[in-house]
Amino acid sequence: MKRLNRLLAATLALAFTSLTAHADKPFISVASTTSTANSGLFDYLLKKFTDEKGIDVRVIAVGTGQAVRLARKGDADVLFVHHRPSEEKFVADGFGKKRFDVMYNDFVLVGPKSDPAHIKGCSSPAEALSKIKASGASFASRGDDSGTHKREVSLWKAANITPDGYWYRATGSGMGATLNVASGINAYAISDRGTWISFKNKKDLTILCEGDKSLFNPYGVIAVNKDKFAHIKEKEANTFVNWLVSAKGQKLISDFRVNGQQLFKPNAQ
């Protein structure tokens, strides 16, 4: 019995030591987009950052709109998203001191290989959307106020169209889930290229429109302002931001591949 008690005491002591050590390890919360998580970029980057700097990173992967709202409430130490107007307003309103360019890729317009709206090789995404609307072909939208959805809305606006009706399916979901809907019903959709490359359930979907300047997709990172929220881990947040835009962080982003394809191109100044 004494031996059992000693063993139990030793086990509890070890568990307590482990929990204490974990609790003492510094960490930051990063409000970011589903594309940085779904693409596999964070799985690749964050372990390297933690191993080097000893700071854990806890990611809240949501649409850009929701990520911005979380950071505005002080529920994250860092904001890492892809809608520059929202990012610049975040800084202008005092919630961050400076926005840094990190990387970019682009959006692509995907759809069924049969292409009922005849948009393949389009010269204008807005014109392609007009053809989709006119054809009555299905379109799957994230409909979630994400950076991708915000870009989609701007493209519909450029086409002078307010999308609605049976053909327009707003999923209210992330990019992966929306692409699953599109592949299930052979619908058109707009995706960031990183998630598209990583997406495994393409079925009959293919890229039909790409390369236009209106599809450029920059990502920015901002440390949340400690002057707004006293609990913000300013030192650790700035360590993460500085690491991302350093030569080492930028090379890691450049080297990240899925199926041999580069998903993001670094562009920190």
Q: What is the pLDDT of residues 36-79, one digit of tens each?
A: 988 999 999 999 999 999 999 999 999 999 999 999 999 999 99
Q: Which residue has the higher pLDDT, 247 or 12?
A: 247
The structure tokens 């929990």 sit at: 19
Where in the chain is CATH 3.40.190.10?
Answer: 2-104+218-266, 106-215
Q: Which has the closest alpha carbon to 58: 83, 14, 22, 91? A: 22
Q: What is the average per-residue pLDDT within 212-229?
A: 97
Q: Which residue has the higher pLDDT, 124 or 23?
A: 124
The DSSP 8-state label assigned to residue 30 in this structure reads: E
* Residues 268, 249: Cα–Cα separation, whole Å: 10
CATH superfamily of 106-215: Periplasmic binding protein-like II (3.40.190.10)
| pLDDT of 166 strictly over 50 | yes
Q: Which has the closest alpha carbon to 56: 16, 25, 101, 77? A: 25
Band (23; pLDDT cuts 50, 70, 90): low
Mean pLDDT of all residues in the chain? 91
Q: Which has the closest alpha carbon to 203: 186, 223, 220? A: 186
What's the confidence (pLDDT) of residue 269?
76
Q: How many CB atoms lie within 10 A of CB 49?
A: 21
Which region among 19-28, 204-213, 239-248 has the lowest average model confidence (pLDDT)? 19-28
What's the confidence (pLDDT) of residue 195?
92
> For residue 167, how far is the Cα from the chain centroid?
27
Give CA separation, 222 vs 77, 80, 85, 90, in Å: 9, 6, 13, 9
Q: Which residue has the higher pLDDT, 257 or 14?
A: 257
* Residues 206, 120: Cα–Cα separation, whole Å: 10
Check if the beta carbon of residue 195 is closer than 8 Å to that of residue 35: yes
> What is the C-alpha R_g of the chain?
22
Segments in the chain forming alpha helices (H): 2-24, 34-38, 41-53, 64-72, 84-92, 125-135, 147-158, 175-185, 193-198, 234-245, 247-255
What's the confidence (pLDDT) of residue 11?
38
What pLDDT, in 10s, does the model give residues 60-71? 999 999 999 999
Residue 109's DSSP bridge partners are: 190, 209
| pLDDT of 7 strictly over 50 | no
Percent of the residues in the chain that have a pLDDT greater than 90, as a whole number: 87
Q: What is the average per-residue pLDDT within 155-169?
A: 96
The letter for the amino acid at 94 is G
Residue 140 Ramachandran class (φ > 0 left, ψ -120 to 50 alpha, else beta) = beta
What's the confidence (pLDDT) of residue 21?
41
* CATH code of domain 2-104+218-266: 3.40.190.10
What's the confidence (pLDDT) of residue 237?
98
What pLDDT, in 10s, does the model give residues 100-148? 999 999 999 999 999 999 999 998 999 999 999 999 999 999 999 999 9
